[in-house]
């Protein structure tokens, strides 16, 4: 039914081994026979049997990419960058700093136009798996990938901030690497045995809050991500560190809540009423009467909206809102608008990540830029062994402050009109 190596060999008048050799390309073959084989392959429309090949060679061309949320561009950008590196041969990717989206085509290609499926010249099948933020699914996908004898696995984004899961993950990573699968972490804390590219979330968050402090803000609300993620914790720690270094928050001049129609009523949850995991609640509340003002929520827009309302209800004197990421920040902006507050005149808002839409938001968002594409590309190269590992196997990726129009001095401060 399905055409095999032997069929091709027969048609080309050579042995199966020879066919295998021309297709692998890693062995000298006479040009004449090579041509005949290629013709036979073409005629028969032969496509290599991946499983058989993987079994015999004890390795596969599958590369897994794990993401927490495939609908979030934060992951999409990284995943796209990783995939872009997975072509055969040397990278054809121009390392342009702003090369967010690959030019048409990209490096992925099979042996040639006339060989629709024959060659095995190094192309990897880079695939992304969506864990939905679930540690269990993460482990499950890792096992599935292990089962496929994947060539490499890259784990992107924040991990579960849970010792038990961290341990299981480390064990899994150890097994994977023992089996010859290269494991690289991109945008998460290091795990022994895996190469890791970790973002400077703490440093970025700290510098962002320092920026606000320098502007004169003293009552700063913090909209954190889900409490059980490492990224959430690190960013929050950076924020708190800046606060601590600056001394206790003063009560400062308290601005009257809101004048006009919106004053009486705090808008409720944005849109849909579905319950969300980790939505704003009092669990991680701040001590009454004292800073810091922190509310946890999911990494999504509705969460930012709710949290902003909650924070302003608790502490109307807030003059700045620091959001866990850009998406959350946009939700917070929407809430402020609905409350009749102007940005940045009444309240400053900051994001994190610098996703593409942040620069275009109204007002343009002050945020922390994470070089997601570049980091992903590098992770991809590490996964392929095409780039030398950083010393100690861990590299810290710098986060860059992007000051735009959503931050300004607080109302009544010097420099204000």
Partner DNA sequence: CTGTTAGCGCATTCAT
Partner DNA sequence: ATGAATGCGCTAACAG
> Which range of residues in 22-30, 41-49, 251-259, 381-389 is near its own copies by CB under 8 A?
41-49
Binders in 115-144 for DNA, by CB under 7 A: 120
> Which range of residues in 9-17, 79-87, 163-171, 327-335 is near DNA by CB under 7 A?
9-17
Binders in 163-222 for DNA, by CB under 7 A: none
Q: Is 3 left (phi over 0), alpha (psi -120 to 50) or beta?
A: beta
Binders in 359-378 for its own copies, by CB under 8 A: 359-360, 362
Please tell me the distance from the alpha carbon of residue 82 to that of residue 232, in angstroms, as a whole number.
Answer: 24
> Which range of residues in 13-21, 94-102, 185-193, 256-264 is near its own copies by CB under 8 A?
94-102
The answer to whether 206 touches 242, Cβ cutoff 8 Å, is yes
Contact status: 127 vs its own copies (CB under 8 A): yes
Contact status: 301 vs its own copies (CB under 8 A): yes
Is the Cβ of residue 91 or residue 148 nearer to DNA in the bound state?
148
367-369/400-402 β-pairing: antiparallel
Binders in 234-273 for its own copies, by CB under 8 A: 270-272
Q: How many CB atoms lie within 10 A of CB 312?
A: 23
Is the Cβ of residue 28 or residue 113 nearer to DNA in the bound state?
28
Contact status: 91 vs DNA (CB under 7 A): no
Is the Cβ of residue 27 or residue 357 nearer to DNA in the bound state?
27
Binding residues for its own copies, rule CB under 8 A, total 82
**Residue 13: CB minimum distance to DNA, A:** 7
When binding is defined by CB under 8 A, the residue of 33, 148, 286, 405 that contacts its own copies is 148
The answer to whether 297 touches 323, Cβ cutoff 8 Å, is no
- Peptide bond before residue 387 is cis, with ω within 30 degrees of 0: no
The DSSP secondary structure of 159-204, one letter per residue, reads PB--HHHHHHHHHHHHHHHHTT-EEEEESS---TTSEEEEE-HHHH
Task: Report what 151 binds from DNA, its own copies, none; CB cut-off 5-8 Å by kind.
Answer: none
When binding is defined by CB under 7 A, the residue of 39, 42, 44, 53 that contacts DNA is 53
When binding is defined by CB under 7 A, the residue of 25, 42, 44, 49 that contacts DNA is 49
**Residue 151: CB minimum distance to DNA, A:** 13
- Helices 301-314 and 326-338 pack at an angle, to 10 degrees, of 50
Contact status: 14 vs DNA (CB under 7 A): yes
Please tell me the distance from the alpha carbon of residue 151 to that of residue 145, in angstroms, as a whole number.
Answer: 9
Q: How many CB atoms lie within 10 A of CB 57?
A: 13
Contact status: 125 vs its own copies (CB under 8 A): yes
Kindly tell me the burial class for residue 363, based on how many C-beta atoms sit within 10 Å of its own C-beta (0-12, 13-18, 19 or more): middle
**Residue 394: CB minimum distance to its own copies, A:** 26
Please tell me the distance from the alpha carbon of residue 181 to that of residue 172, in angstroms, as a whole number.
Answer: 11
Task: Report what 23 binds from DNA, its own copies, none; CB cut-off 5-8 Å by kind.
Answer: DNA
In 79-233, at which residue ranges do the beta strands (DSSP E only) sit? 125-130, 152-156, 182-186, 195-199, 220-224
Q: How far, rounded to the nearest angstrom, does the alpha carbon of residue 251 sit from its chain's CA centroid?
A: 37
Applying CB under 7 A, the residues found at the interface with DNA are 2, 4-6, 13-18, 20-21, 23-24, 26-30, 32-34, 46, 48-49, 52-53, 55-58, 120
């Amino acid at each position: 039914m399905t055409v095999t190596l032997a069929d091709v060999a027969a048609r080309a008048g050579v042995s199966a081994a020879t066919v295998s050799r021309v297709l692998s390309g890693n062995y000298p073959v006479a040009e004449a026979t090579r041509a005949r084989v290629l013709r036979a392959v073409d005629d028969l429309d032969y496509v290599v049997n991946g499983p058989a090949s993987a079994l015999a060679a004890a390795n596969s061309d599958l590369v897994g990419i794990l993401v927490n949320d495939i609908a979030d561009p934060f992951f999409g950008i990284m995943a796209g960058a990783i995939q872009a590196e997975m072509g055969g041969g040397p990278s054809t990717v121009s390392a342009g700093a702003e090369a967010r989206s690959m030019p048409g085509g990209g490096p992925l290609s099979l042996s040639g136009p006339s060989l629709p499926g024959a060659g095995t010249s190094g192309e990897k099948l880079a695939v992304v798996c969506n864990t939905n933020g679930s540690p269990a699914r993460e482990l499950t996908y890792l096992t599935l990938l292990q089962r496929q004898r994947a060539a490499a696995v890259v784990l992107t984004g924040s991990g579960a901030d849970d010792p038990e899961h961290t341990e299981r993950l480390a064990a899994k990573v150890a097994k994977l690497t023992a089996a010859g699968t290269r494991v690289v972490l991109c945008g998460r804390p290091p795990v022994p045995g895996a190469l890791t590219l970790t973002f400077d979330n703490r440093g970025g968050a700290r510098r962002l809050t320092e920026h606000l402090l320098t502007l004169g803000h003293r009552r700063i609300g913090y909209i954190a991500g889900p409490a059980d993620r490492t990224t959430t914790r690190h960013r929050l720690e950076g924020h708190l560190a800046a606060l601590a270094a600056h001394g206790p928050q003063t009560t400062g001049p308290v601005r009257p809540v809101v004048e006009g129609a919106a004053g009486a009523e705090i808008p409720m949850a944005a849109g849909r009423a579905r319950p969300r995991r980790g939505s704003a609640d009092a669990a991680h509340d701040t001590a009454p009467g004292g800073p810091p003002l922190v509310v946890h929520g999911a990494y999504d827009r509705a969460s930012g909206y709710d949290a902003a309302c909650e924070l302003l209800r608790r502490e109307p004197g807030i003059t700045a809102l620091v959001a866990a990421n850009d998406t959350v920040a946009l939700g917070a902006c929407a809430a402020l608008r609905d409350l009749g507050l102007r940005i940045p005149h009444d309240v400053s808002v900051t994001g994190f990540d610098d996703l593409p839409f942040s620069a275009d938001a109204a007002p343009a968002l002050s945020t922390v830029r994470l070089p997601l594409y570049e980091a992903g590309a590098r992770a991809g190269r590490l996964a392929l062994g095409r780039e030398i590992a950083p010393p100690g196997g861990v590299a810290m990726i710098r986060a860059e402050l992007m000051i735009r129009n959503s931050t300004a001095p607080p109302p009544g401060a010097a420099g204000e009109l």
